[in-house]
Amino acid sequence: MALELAGIPLDKLIRVEVRERARFVRHSVPGLSGELTQDLGRPGVAVAFQGIFLGAEAADRLKELRDKYLAREPVDFLCEAVGEGYFTQVVIDTLQVVQRAGFVDQFDYVCEVAEYVPPPPPAVANPLGDLDASILDEAAGMMDDVQNAIGQVADLANLLAGASDYGNPTTRLPGMLTSFTEAAGPATTTLSSIAGLL
């Protein structure tokens, strides 16, 4: 099995352990035999491996691995087992190192990594940025219609203000008689002459 973490080949492995879990929540429902199980997805895959750095470059390779651990950044993870390749990004959760007395160029280590899932993109600062432009035009047109309607109501109010005495016909009666007399003035002489003939 070949395993490479952050570009560091880890070829002297003693143990590799992969942990995968499902995330379920169980609800008690009255009248239901058993429980209702709801799938909430899965946590990230965790891989633990134990190995040895051995030889003249052991201290340098251990320092390189420790620097990647201290950086707290996602790193590339490449694993090949049974002819199948697996590549992803991981974060290094744990790094334990043991050096035995009398073995200067040998370091035993246990390392645990967890699958890295990038965070979702940030929320859009402008909530109207993704709206269709036609919707904005329609909203602007609707506001214009509302303003036109308000203007027409104001014009109607001005017309009604001039007709404040419309409800009382006696205030216009003298003016109506005068205009009737002026319009019917020639007719009175004609009626008089007709009365004389009879």
Walk along the chain (198 residues) and give the pLDDT tens digit of each residue: 668 888 888 888 888 888 888 888 888 888 888 888 888 888 888 888 899 999 888 899 999 999 999 999 999 988 776 556 677 889 999 999 999 888 888 999 999 999 898 888 887 677 666 666 677 678 778 888 888 878 777 776 666 565 555 556 666 666 666 766 666 666 566 656 665 655
* pLDDT for the residue numbered 180: 63
**Which string of DSSP letters, residue by residue, matches the chain?**
-EEEETTEE---EEEEEEE----EEEE--TT-SS-EEEE---PPPEEEEEEEEESTTHHHHHHHHHHHHHHT--EEEEEEETTEEEEEEEEEEEEEEE--TT-TTEEEEEEEEEE--PPPPPPPSSTTTTS-HHHHHHHHHHHHHHHHHHHHHHHHHHHHHTTTTTT-GGGTHHHHHHHHHHHHHHHHHHHHHHHHH-
pLDDT score recorded for residue 179: 67
Which sequence spans correspond to the domains of the chain? 2-23+39-115, 129-163
CATH class of 2-23+39-115: mainly beta
